Amino acid sequence: MDQDSHCTGERELLEAVSKITTSSTTTPSDEEENQTKAEISCQVREENPAKDDTQDSSATLSPNSSMTTKELQEYWRNEKRQCKQIKLLFEIPSTRIVEHNLSKYVVYKIIILQTGSFDSNKSVIERRYSDFEKLHRNLLEEFSEEMEDVTFPKKTLTGNFTEEIINERKLAFKDYLRLLYSMKYIRRSKKFIDFLTRPELQEAYGCLRGGQYTKALEILLEVIGLQERLTRGNPAAIVPTLCAIVVCHKDLENPASAFEYGEKALSRLRVHSSHRYYIPLLDTMITLAYELGKDFLSLQEKLEEWKTKKDPIRVFTLKELAVREYVR
């Protein structure tokens, strides 16, 4: 996107907010309005770099004029927080050797820490040498220039399972991840994010498809914190995972928890009403709200409003969408 287009998009967003705030019965103060505009500007810069996050094609930014001034301000306030970079640290404290049938390999335990979190937000994953090797090949295909000076620990003909070699690789892979994360376009790339989250998500969705909702929920709750921190500039990116959590809680007859995570997902779709999960999520939230004795009329109004604007199409249920994720 060239500079003129970028500026035009930003001006259109500012004009949209101006119209909403003018027509609202509750007029925000100058300070609040300026803050809202600053938040929009921040989001535009985040959403429109020349080479940036991979995003759902249906999740483009387009403020919804049906939102109240208060809702719009709250949305952009949350988006402003997304503009702040969350720094992650990578540690590889231990390894284990796995012997399976005729194969033998080393598994590296990776701890991912958020700076200033006092370990409360740490994520723990395991990856083997071949996983790192695949990541490196994938990144070389897409980021040849950025990867030009990045070295990768090579395999040796012998001694791959000696303590000395394993310790060397632990340090090498730690530095490797740190270096990749330091490069903006790589840390935001789908290939890097998939390396850190996809195996766990694939397992979780496999459990969901098999009706093992407790196990699926356990994995999803572990991975979503990391997934969220890796996709800070693209709030809609974690909607499928949030919706999978809703499905698990609903099928486990935990409607209150399902509604809680459904609200989190809806908050990320306030300006993404064309997202494939939006209508199935609204349908589910209406059912949950009715069951819990909560106000469902506002949700029903949003659903009816969407139906008047769109041609009738086949819409999957939330569960039908969830079971289709990560199908090989």
DSSP reduced 3-state for 225: helix
Chain-centre distance of CA 183, in angstroms?
A: 19
Q: In this structure, what CATH number is given to the domain that contains residue 101?
A: 3.30.1520.10
pLDDT digits (tens, 9 = 90+) for 274-310: 899 999 999 999 999 999 999 999 999 988 888 887 7
* pLDDT tens digits, one per residue of 168-208: 999 999 999 999 999 999 999 999 999 999 999 999 999 99
Domain membership of residue 214 (yes or no) is yes
Based on the fold, state whether residues 137 and 222 are members of the same structural domain.
no
Q: How many domains does the chain have?
A: 2
Does 65 reside within a domain?
no
Output the CA torsion sign for 263, 265, 269, 274. Answer: negative
Tell me, yes or no, whether 74 lies in a domain: no
Instruction: Report if pTM > 0.85.
Output: no
d(CA 164, CA 272) in angstroms, rounded, equals 51
> End of a domain among 188, 210, 230?
188
**Same domain for 303 and 284?**
yes
Are residue 260 and residue 232 in the same domain, yes or no? Answer: yes
Residue 146 lies inside a defined structural domain of this protein? yes
Full residue range of the structural domain in which residue 238 is found: 199-324
87-144 per-position pLDDT tens digit: 899 999 999 999 988 889 999 999 999 886 565 678 999 999 999 999 999 999 999 9
Which comes out higher in pLDDT, residue 318 or 26? 318
Same domain, yes or no: 222 and 317: yes
